[in-house]
Chains A and B, each alone.
Chain A
Amino acid sequence: SQKIEQNSEALNIQEGKTATLTCNYTNYSPAYLQWYRQDPGRGPVFLLLIRENEKEKRKERLKVTFDTTLKQSLFHITASQPADSATYLCASGFTFGKGTHLIIQP
């Protein structure tokens, strides 16, 4: 079965810098990957979806890439702000990674 792996350690980034989060998948290449944001005590909120045949997808300060050779998706937040601090989840269908906790320090 598919596994989605994310670095579960907290990622500390200085405000204004670009935060890059990694999502690796095992086994078959999924048709698409999704990224969600989760704040404490709340359900995840959908951010972006990237399909297997897309190299890159952008939405405002967010960018997602999909590399089928590396079996990896990268999630970038440019010009990061303290309000971007949250846990970010990568998912394929109903298989979710454990998420990476991002902390943007002022």
Chain B
Amino acid sequence: GAGVSQSPSNKVTEKGKDVELRCDPISGHTALYWYRQSLGQGLEFLIYFQGNSAPDKSGLPSDRFSAERTGGSVSTLTIQRTQQEDSAVYLCASSPAGTGSSYEQYFGPGTRLTVT
């Protein structure tokens, strides 16, 4: 079946502009995660959605970052007033259930964001 998809695959934007990154999780997966990965760095957790529960936003680095998940499926990560330090690969993952169930995460290919 189809895996996690993300769009766009690459995004170049000017400093100060807003960007939206999209994630389509695997159908039926209730949990969805956003991470970012800077060059040579590990995955940095951003936000976690589980079913209809309030999202865990503890990883968002600033109030310029926000995310929503519509209808328990597609998710959009929005970065307002982008800064150069926002340049990274943004990865989305989904799993059949939340972290408490220890299910593996299925990752998308990522969106490479470059802020000039």
Contacts and interface: CB of A to CB of B under 8 A. Distances in A.
A98 B102 contact: no
A31 B100 CA distance: 9
Given A94-B35, A94-B99, A99 B104 contact: no
Interface string A40-72: 011111100101000000000000000000000
Nearest to A35: B104
B110 interface: yes
A95 B45 contact: yes
A106 interface: no
Interface size grouping (class) on chain A: 20 to 34
B109 interface: yes
Contacts of B41: 98
A9 to B, nearest CB: 12
B48 A34 contact: no
A42 to B, nearest CB: 6
Interface residues of B, number: 20
Contacts of A42: 109-110
Given A43-B91, A49-B102, A96 B110 contact: no
B42 A99 contact: yes
A99 B44 CA distance: 12
A31 B33 CA distance: 19
A89 interface: yes
Interface of B: 4, 33, 35, 41-43, 45, 48, 59, 91, 93, 99, 102, 104-110
Given A42-B110, A45-B107, A94-B105, 10 more contacts: A31-B102, A34-B102, A34-B104, A42-B109, A43-B4, A43-B110, A51-B102, A89-B42, A94-B45, A96-B43
9 contacts: A42-B109, A46-B104, A46-B106, A49-B102, A89-B42, A94-B35, A95-B45, A96-B45, A99-B42
Interface of A: 31-32, 34, 41-46, 49, 51, 89, 91, 93-99
